[in-house]
Amino acid sequence: MKLIDNWKQAWKLKSVQVGALSAFFYALILFSEQFLNIWNVIPQELKNKIPENIAEWGGLFIGVATVLARLKKQPELHDVNKFVTITAGHSNSDPGAVNGKYKEAELVRQFRNAVTHYLREAGLQVKTDGTGTKNDPLSAAVKLIQGSSVAVEFHMNAAASKQANGIETIALPKDKKLAQDLSKAVADGLGGRLRGDNGWIDQSKSARGRLAYVNAGGLIVELGFISNEAELAAFQVRYWLAAKAVAKVLIEYENRN
């Protein structure tokens, strides 16, 4: 390879300067996350010994690395054209099952909001049947399923027997694995047990028969029995933990598909 004349002065060329700057930022993007991980494990007493002038430049570098790491991670999580549908059973005008002052529609709405929080925090696009205290009826929820990569609605079971308990997800056979993963996430979070086939209930075997939400391609997660005092109490105390676990399952599902 033959070098250009005066190659030792090549650093003065604009094309070389721009190329070097581009290479620097490309390397920073590639290794920004690793750099931040290393920086975070350095003891604070050692950081305090860094000279002030170097610390100022280091702070600037860390700030840039943080931004680049965030930008680098986002595309890996989710295609902007994809979205997840998360809905709550029943509606503001239909309370669903009731146990004293507790209404199914209100409890599952809280769970919907919690799962949505974690999904959006992770960078996923989410459509819901309402925000805050709003809970649209089933007809609106079903319409949100079209075009979504996955759609999940939350309910709570009820039975005449106060002893009836457990978590299950009603879904079509094609969604058996996801249904089992969702049920396990809820059971682990709330400390409950799995019903059916490791948490999966085939719609054809469900006492409810054919369900509009499932027929449209969605999954219905039953978060336990509102009629069971122990499960109701566990839900009130631990539903944020279960919601985080459910969100983790959906994030992993999205990353695989």
- The CATH number that applies at residue 149 is 3.40.630.40
Q: How many domains does the chain have?
A: 2
Alpha helices by DSSP H, 168-228: 176-190, 212-215
Q: Quick one: pLDDT at residue 75?
A: 46
pLDDT at 94 over 80: yes
Each residue's pLDDT tens digit, 198-249: 999 998 776 666 799 999 999 999 999 999 999 999 999 999 999 999 999 9
Threshold 0.85, pTM exceeds: no
DSSP β-ladder status, 102-103 and 98-99: antiparallel
DSSP state, 233? H
**57 lies in the same domain as 151:** no
**210 lies in the same domain as 116:** yes
Q: Quick one: pLDDT at residue 65?
A: 56
Domain boundary among 77, 100, 131: 77
**124 lies in the same domain as 44:** no
**72 lies in the same domain as 148:** no
**25 lies in the same domain as 137:** no
For 53-62, 82-91, 92-101, 199-208, which range has the lowest pLDDT when averaged over its residues? 53-62
Strands (E), the chain: 84-88, 98-99, 102-103, 126-128, 150-157, 168-171, 200-202, 219-225
**43 lies in the same domain as 100:** no
**100 lies in the same domain as 201:** yes
CA nearest neighbour of 246 among 97, 86, 135:
86
For 49-58, 147-156, 170-179, which range has the lowest pLDDT when averaged over its residues? 49-58
Whole-number Å distance between alpha carbons of 121 and 213: 26
The reply to whether 219 falls in a domain is yes
Range of 19's domain?
A: 12-77
Q: Quick one: pLDDT at residue 114?
A: 97
Each residue's pLDDT tens digit, 186-212: 999 999 999 999 999 998 776 666 799
Whole-number Å distance between alpha carbons of 178 and 35: 35
Q: Quick one: pLDDT at residue 81?
A: 74
Q: What is the mean pLDDT of residues 72-85?
A: 65
What's the pLDDT band for 183 if we cut at 50, 70, 90? Answer: very high
pLDDT at 21 over 60: no
**146 lies in the same domain as 91:** yes
